[in-house]
Every structure is written in C-alpha cells, then in structure tokens.
Amino acid sequence: DGGITQSPKYLFRKEGQNVTLSCEQNLNHDAMYWYRQDPGQGLRLIYYSQIVNDFQKGDIAEGYSVSREKKESFPLTVTSAQKNPTAFYLCASRNGQERFGNEKLFFGSGTQLSVL
C-alpha cells in the first residue's frame, strides 16, 4: 500500500541533543512538508520541499533543519537550538502535478517528541 511512514512514533530528547525524525513516502509525490502541532492547537508549517535538493523555510523554521536528497525521503532534525521541542510532528506529501486548488495533502501518523 502506498503511503507515508514516519518513525519513530515516540522519541525522547535529552538537553543539548539533536534528534532526527524520519519521513518516507512511496507515493511518488514531488512535494513534502513538515508540520508541528502543540496540544489543542492547529498545525504550523516548519519546512517544505517542492523538489529534490530544494527546500524552503515555513513559519517556524528556527531550531530545525531538513534535507531532501531523495524524492522519497524528507528527514527533519530538531537541533539543540530549539528550546521548546516537545510537540507532535507531522510529515505530509502531495502530488505536484495536481492542478492548483485541487492538491490534496497526505499525512503520516506522526512522531511525538518529548524532552527528558
């Protein structure tokens, strides 16, 4: 079955540590996104990539980094500079060939990151 796989489901970070969240998709989608969700809140965009080897900052990129070396993969690193990393992280993708307005985002099941 095609879809988006996020791992791990739960992750714990120690103070001063960098951690990397994995996101893999086998939908052959061009664009991929990382969102952050805090309890009871909507989603906020961290980074997005419309094509391999290219990515742009979203609304809350500080303290995060990404790479897009392969079409299928868009890992997110939460660096030690992110002082409040505890949140639910969601990865999404979309087919870049869809006509404007008709694009649908497909989401993974998320990674819950907590600070020890």
Q: 4: which residues sit within 8 A by CB, 6+ positions away?
A: 23, 24, 25, 27, 91, 92, 93, 106, 107, 108
Cis peptide before 85 (omega within 30 of 0): no
Smallest gap from Cβ 15 to other proteins, in A, equals: 26
Which residues sit at the interface with other proteins, rule CB under 8 A?
4, 31, 33, 35, 40-43, 45, 48, 50, 56, 58, 90-92, 94, 96, 100-110
Residue 44 CB, nearest approach to other proteins (Å): 8
**In the complex, what is the shortest distance from the CB of residue 103 to other proteins, in angstroms, rounded to a whole number?**
5
Nearest distance in Å: CB 31, other proteins: 5
Cβ nearer to other proteins, comparing 1 with 100: 100
Token pair in block for residue 18: 């960098």
Q: Say how far residue 97 (Cα) sits from the centre of its chain.
A: 21
Nearer to other proteins, 80 or 95 (CB): 95
CB-count burial class (<10 Å; 0-12, 13-18, 19+) for 110? middle
Nearer to other proteins, 59 or 69 (CB): 59
The token pair at 43 is: 């989603």
Judged by beta carbon, residue 84 or residue 97, the one nearer other proteins is 97
